[in-house]
Structure formats: C-alpha cells, structure tokens
C-alpha cells in the first residue's frame, strides 16, 4: 500500500486507450469510444472478485458511502451507528443525507465493539456501519446477528481493506452493502474513485441512478432518459476507471507483497513481550496494509512513535492524536460547524460532546501504533526496518 508505488506499463496502456478514444466520460458517446468502456469493465471485474451480483463505480470512497446510504433510503433524522475511530468521510457521508452519525466505542480489533452497538440502538437507528480500519475487519458475525435481530442494515466500509476476507468471503461482500475507496493512497488506486457493491438489485438500481442526477440509464439516448427521483453527480471518469482496471488485476500481487513485509515486521516485533498485536476476529484475514500493535500505556506509545520517526522509521502513525481519524479532534462535528444551517433533525439528534464516554476506545487507540506497509520495499529494506523498530521500541520500554 499504496498501489501508486508500482505504477507501470499496465496502467499506462489502459489510460492511453481512453485518450486514444477521446471519450473521458463513462456514459454516452457510444460511436466515438471504439468499444472502450473502462468503468463497465472495472465494475464487472470487481463483481467477480468480490463475489457479488452488482457493482457501481463512483468518484470517491466518500461518494460510495453516501450513495450506498441513499440507495437504501437513508435520510433526514435516520441514525447510523459508526465507530469513534475511522476517517471523517464516515460521518460526512451520513450528514450529507441529513442523517445522524452515532459514534460508539471500538474494541481491540480497532473496529466497532458489538456490545457498544447494541447499547446505542434507538427507534431511529437504521444502519450499522462497521469500518474495517487499517486493513482488518470487525466481528461481522456478531454485527450481522445484531442487525438481523433489530431489522437494521449492515453497511461495510471496506475502504481501507480491499483484499481482506472474513470466513472465506471478501470484505465488503458480507453486509447488505459494501464500499471501497480507490483514492491515491489505497492498496489499489484510481487516483480518485470508489465503488458500491451489493447483492440487492433495488439498492444497485438506486445507486447507479442517484449517482448520475437520477438518470434511469434506459435505452441508448442519454438525452431521452427519464428521472425517477432526485440525484446528484458522483460519477467516476473513464481515465480514473482505466487506472483502476489495471490495478485490480494486480491486487493479488500487491497483497502478497504486503503480507511478506507485514510478516517480517510482525515476527521481529513479537520478540518484545510488552507488545500485544491487534486482534483479528476468528476466520478473518487482513489485507496486510498496516501492522497494528498495542504498547503498555499511552505515554509509552506516544514516546515510541516519536522515537521511531527520529530513527528514520517513517509511516508509523499514532492515531490517538490524529486530526482525521479519531473523535478527539473532530471538533467540526461535535460543534456542528457548517457553512450553512444543518437540518433540524441533525441539530436535535447530534451527540452531546460533554457526555461522550469513549474511555474504552481511548484504552485501545491511545496505546496503538499503526505502521503502514509499503509495496516498494525490498525484503532487505524490510529486515533493516524491522531491526530499527525492535531496537527503538526496546529502548523506550
């Protein structure tokens, strides 16, 4: 991770096909494009790879989450349960529809704690959104059981976890809907892009229409298409899809490299008895894009992350202090800072920051260091990195 590290001739050829046709838009201009439909091709490949009936590409992972929620009819005042540790796009997508994000604790998987989910369910709850952060998954058996019992939708945010699996099924394919991001720093990239996958035909039909101004995509005359409902523009371009089409064909290659590098680092760090590794739910396999481990205390973790940087070991993140990924720095959410007025349903239902008790999340995230696994490292470079990490952390402990 990320896939741009290994850009090469395959990506260039796919992009050149689009430039040669002169058609950069995914819809229309049938006579000009010489049979090139990169978005459609990538959707077909993703459906096969993810073992789902339907895939629809959009402009980003954030767009994918927004479109997925909209396709299931989520709107004003509906509550969506999400984790306190994620990327800001999770709550942005919810708020974009006038729905209400309900933050709950994570556990030692660094993903949704099922017990916290149960405690957060109200009469307004419509969706449970686990986020498979840093390449590993939530306890999807437990969350599916909760959703079935309470008649809720399960929406998997697998934006950081493509290539991972749970009980033999690709992450993203297990819930009612799944979402991926293909932005510039993901395991496979389109530069910018995302995807919604589902086995529900109604959700798929809604998704492809909603993301293109409500066009029904019936017939071959775009100007004559009907608009069964309101929509917006979340379209992906053919150029972005072309890059992704080359990259998806390399996913197994990328996962194999990540697993090799991850394993070298984990084996080395296993020598340190004070280190406890993130729990992967039984039956799950990460995509090996990050190595996550816990140190004995918040102070030790913070000092270790600083020391690793000073030792030249880049890419080791301390999410507890991060502006983008942990609730403690989401003051724009908690203070409801918006350019315009928020819907009253949102204002009335947003959680009160003064009553937050995410001490369970703090216990895990505060002691966590998360190390990016790069594709471009040689095996020798990873061995050197592993030794530096062990030496540095042992000095701190």
- Active-site residues: which are they? 186
DSSP, residue by residue, 40-67 = HHHHHHHHHHHT-SEEEEES-HHHHHHH
The tokens for 8 are: 């090469």
Which residue in the block uniquely carries the two structure tokens 């069964």? Answer: 228
Could you give the CA distance from residue 83 to residue 232 in angstroms, rounded to a whole number? Answer: 27
Q: Which residues contact 217 (CB under 8 A, 6 or more apart)?
A: 27, 208, 209, 225
CA distances from 157 to 127, 217, 307 (A): 12, 27, 32
- Cα radius of gyration (the chain): 21
Two structure tokens written together for 102? 């309900």
Token pair belonging to 173:
């394919």
With contact defined as beta carbons under 8 Å apart, do 254 and 19 qualify?
A: no
DSSP string, 79-94: EEEEESBS-THHHHHH
Q: Rounded to an integer, what distance in angstroms lies between the CA atom of residue 74 and that of residue 66?
A: 9
């Amino acid at each position: 991770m990320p896939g741009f590290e290994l850009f090469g001739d395959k990506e260039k050829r796919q992009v050149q096909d689009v430039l040669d046709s002169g058609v950069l838009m995914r819809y229309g201009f049938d006579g000009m494009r010489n049979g090139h439909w990169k978005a459609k091709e990538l959707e077909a490949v993703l459906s096969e790879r993810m073992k789902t009936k339907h895939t629809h590409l959009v402009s980003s992972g954030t767009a994918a989450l927004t479109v997925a929620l909209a396709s299931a009819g989520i709107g004003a005042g509906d509550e969506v349960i999400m984790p306190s540790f994620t990327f800001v796009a999770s709550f942005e997508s919810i708020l974009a529809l006038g729905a209400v994000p309900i933050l709950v604790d994570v556990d030692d998987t660094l993903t949704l704690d099922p017990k916290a989910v149960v405690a957060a369910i109200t009469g307004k709850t419509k969706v449970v959104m686990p986020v498979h952060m840093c390449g590993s998954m939530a306890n999807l058996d437990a969350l599916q059981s909760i959703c079935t019992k309470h008649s809720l939708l399960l929406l998997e945010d697998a934006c950081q976890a493509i290539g991972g699996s749970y009980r033999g099924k690709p992450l993203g394919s297990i819930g009612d809907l799944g979402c991926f991001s293909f932005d510039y720093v993901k395991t496979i990239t389109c530069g910018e892009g995302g995807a919604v996958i589902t086995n529900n035909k109604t959700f798929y039909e809604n998704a492809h229409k909603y993301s293109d101004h409500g066009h029904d995509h019936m017939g071959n005359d775009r100007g004559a298409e009907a608009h069964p409902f309101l929509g917006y523009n979340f379209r992906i371009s053919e150029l972005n899809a072309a890059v992704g089409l080359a990259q998806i064909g390399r996913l197994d290659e990328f996962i194999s490299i990540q697993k090799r590098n991850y394993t070298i680092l984990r084996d080395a760090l296993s020598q340190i008895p004070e280190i406890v590794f993130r729990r992967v739910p039984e039956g799950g396999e990460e995509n090996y894009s990050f190595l996550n481990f816990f140190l004995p205390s918040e102070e030790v973790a913070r000092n270790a992350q600083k020391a690793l940087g000073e030792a030249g070991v880049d890419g080791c993140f301390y999410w507890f202090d991060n502006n983008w990924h942990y609730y403690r720095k989401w003051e724009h959410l908690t203070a409801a800072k918006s350019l315009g007025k928020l819907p009253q349903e949102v204002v009335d239902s947003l959680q009160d920051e003064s009553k937050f008790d995410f001490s369970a999340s703090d216990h895990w995230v505060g002691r966590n260091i998360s190390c990016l696994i790069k594709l471009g490292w040689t095996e020798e470079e990873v061995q050197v990195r592993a030794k530096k990490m062990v030496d540095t952390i042992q000095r701190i402990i």
